[in-house]
Amino acid sequence: MKSRAESPVLSSLFLSLIIIIAQKCEYILLVGGQKVPAIFLFGDSYGDTGNNGFIGTTSTGNFPPYGRDFKDHIPTGRVSNGKLMSDYFAEGLGIKELLPPYLDPTLKAQDLLTGACFSSSGTGLDNLTAHILNVIPVWKQIEYFKEYRNKIAGLVGEEEAATIIRNAIFFFSIGTNDFIVNYFLVSPRRLQFTVQEYTDLLLNTYTDYIKELYNLGATKIALINVPPLGCLPTERTVTSLRNKGACDQEVNQAADGFNSGINAMIEGLRPGFPSLQIISLDYHSLISDFIANPSKYDLEVIDKGCCGTGRIEVGFLCNEFTPFTCPDASTYLFFDSVHLTQKAYQFISNVFLTRDIPQLL
């Protein structure tokens, strides 16, 4: 893929055009020479459509007020008030309305052919991150994908299964919990590694997972980078004594370093894997712009979540008995103190579908 230099003015105009499209459309249906047969999501809660509801962890969203703006107001395990990027990707690519969690026992064999979600809320690239919250580590998600591959080969044959996987898009959203749950909060990692050393550890692990998926037949991969972590409401709260509620720059710098590492990792992979199409989806810049320019997106609250006080409530702390949950989540960037509202996920997904994902088609 050739790189191209773009002037700041042209880049700004293009982003403005994308913003207008994303605000006016429920989703963007990509039509081109090649139809995407399936999509797969790996990673954390930004993509988990309900897997954690089947593994006995408290790190889930299968209770109110999660799901209150979802179809029939049903909490499904999606850690938001409604749909996630996973769902908007599936819908926008014309595949299906919702992306089901792989561990759902009611999932029909035919549904598998168009893809599934393997993500697990609370997980990370570091196995210790998954252990802290008793969730599915990424290596196990890939084991589930191997199981999935055998299932569809049994349905349509090995050759057709390989074709589906070769033309499918694989999304990764991972890294947030490694920093905010693990490194900067509760684990010994901060005593063992500098931020840079820990970042390198995560990126080396990430590289191994991508190579493993490539060896399983994946050729189209999109890596969603991490948001400005120090601006998450929970991080504003944890560091409020020294920052007075402002974004924490130390944590933000860790996020910036990790995201820069993702870009370098991608460039490092391309020469050795010529048939690999791999891109980074810049989630970070969109969240940063939401925070800097909320009125541009018809947002009013960007420093706390809709649920409860919005300062600390996430997961089981955000429940049907939590007081003060906002009446209209569409004016908020965050639904709880970590995760976005459906409105924000929809907008971000439309930008990715319009601006970035066509590079994989």
Single out the catalytic residue among 44, 45, 173, 337: 45
Single out the catalytic residue among 80, 126, 303, 339: 339
Tell me what pLDDT residue 172 has: 98
Q: What is the pLDDT of residues 110-124, one digit of tens each?
A: 899 999 999 999 999
Tell me, what amino acid is at 132? I
Residue 32, pLDDT > 90, answer no
CB 81 within 8 A of CB 329: yes
Q: Is 339 a catalytic residue?
A: yes
Single out the catalytic residue among 126, 336, 337, 349: 336
Tell me what pLDDT residue 244 has: 87
Residue 31, pLDDT > 70, answer no
Tell me what pLDDT residue 34 has: 59
Q: For a pLDDT cut of 90, what percent of the chain falls above it?
A: 86
Q: Is 45 a catalytic residue?
A: yes
Q: Quick one: average pLDDT of 55-62? A: 93
Tell me what pLDDT residue 109 has: 87
Q: What is the pLDDT of residues 173-231, one digit of tens each?
A: 999 999 999 999 977 999 999 999 999 999 999 999 999 999 999 999 999 999 999 99
DSSP 145-212: HHHHHHHHHHHH-HHHHHHHHHHSEEEEE--HHIIIIIIIIISTHHHH--HHHHHHHHHHHHHHHHHH
Q: What is the pLDDT of residues 130-153, one digit of tens each?
A: 999 999 999 999 999 999 999 999
Q: Is 80 a catalytic residue?
A: no
CB 101 within 8 A of CB 116: yes
Q: For a pLDDT cut of 70, what percent of the chain falls above it?
A: 91
CB 283 within 8 A of CB 314: no
Tell me what pLDDT residue 229 has: 98
Task: Record the pTM.
Answer: 0.91
